[in-house]
Amino acid sequence: MGVLGCSTSAPPLVHFAPKTARIPLKTPESKEEYSESLRKLVQDNCPSLFTPFEPKWWLNNGHIQTTYSVFADISQVDSVWYRRQNLKLVDGGTLTEWRTARGLDFAPIDDAALSDDTPIVVILHGLTGGSYEPYIKSILTHAIKPVDKGGLGYRAVIPHSRGCGGVPITSTKFYSAGGTDDFRQALIYISNRYPRAKLLGLGFSLGSNIMTRYIAQEGEKCRLSSACVLANPWDLAANSDILSGTFIGRNVYNNALGTNLMNVAKQHYKALMADPSLPIAKALKPLMSVSQMTLTNFDKVFLSQVGGPPPQFPYATVNEYYDAMSSHECIGEIRIPYLAINSADDPVVQYVPMDGAGNGYAVMVLTSGGGHLGWFNDGTGKDRWTTKPVLEWLTLMGREVLAKSGSERGHKVVLGTDEFLRNEGGDEWLGCKECEGGGLINGNAGVEGLRKGL
- List pLDDT tens digits, range 225-255: 999 999 999 999 999 999 999 999 999 999 9
Q: What residues contact 349, with CB distance under 8 A and at least 6 apart?
A: 205, 231, 232, 233, 234, 239, 342, 343, 372
- List pLDDT tens digits, range 357-388: 999 999 999 999 999 999 999 999 999 999 99
Q: Is the pLDDT of residue 2 over 60?
A: no
157 to 75, 163, 411: CA distances (angstroms):
19, 17, 21
DSSP state of 176: -
In the predicted model, what is the mean pLDDT of residues 391-406? 97
205 is catalytic: yes
Task: Find how far residue 224's CA is from the centre of its chain.
Answer: 13
Average pLDDT score over the chain: 90
- List pLDDT tens digits, range 16-67: 999 999 999 987 665 567 899 999 999 999 999 999 999 999 999 999 999 9
pLDDT, position 307: 73
- Rounded to whole angstroms, the Cα distance separating 135 from 376 reads 10
The active-site residue, picked from 75, 191, 372, 405, is 372
Positive or negative, the Cα torsion across 263, 266, 272, 278?
A: positive
Query: Higher pLDDT residue, 4 or 3?
Result: 4
pLDDT, position 301: 92
- List pLDDT tens digits, range 72-82: 989 899 999 99
346 is catalytic: yes
E-state strands within 108-182: 120-124, 155-159
Banded pLDDT at 97 (limits 50, 70, 90): very low
How does DSSP assign 62-84, residue by residue?
A: HHHHHHHHHHS--TTSS--EEEE
Q: What residues contact 366, with CB distance under 8 A and at least 6 apart?
A: 12, 13, 15, 341, 342, 343, 344, 352, 354
Q: Is the pLDDT of residue 411 over 60?
A: yes
- List pLDDT tens digits, range 205-228: 999 999 999 999 999 999 999 999
In the predicted model, what is the mean pLDDT of residues 323-343? 97
Count of CB atoms situated within 10 Å of the CB of 439: 11
In the predicted model, what is the mean pLDDT of residues 290-298? 90
pLDDT, position 98: 38
Most confident of 42-51, 81-90, 154-163: 42-51
Q: Is the pLDDT of residue 110 over 70?
A: yes
Banded pLDDT at 174 (limits 50, 70, 90): confident
The active-site residue, picked from 205, 225, 368, 405, is 205
The active-site residue, picked from 346, 368, 405, 407, is 346
In the predicted model, what is the mean pLDDT of residues 196-205? 98
- List pLDDT tens digits, range 421-451: 999 887 777 888 998 888 999 999 877 766 6
pLDDT, position 453: 54
In this prediction the pTM is 0.93
- Rounded to whole angstroms, the Cα distance separating 122 from 62 reads 28
78 is catalytic: no
Q: What type of residue is 367?
A: T
Q: Is the pLDDT of residue 281 over 70?
A: yes
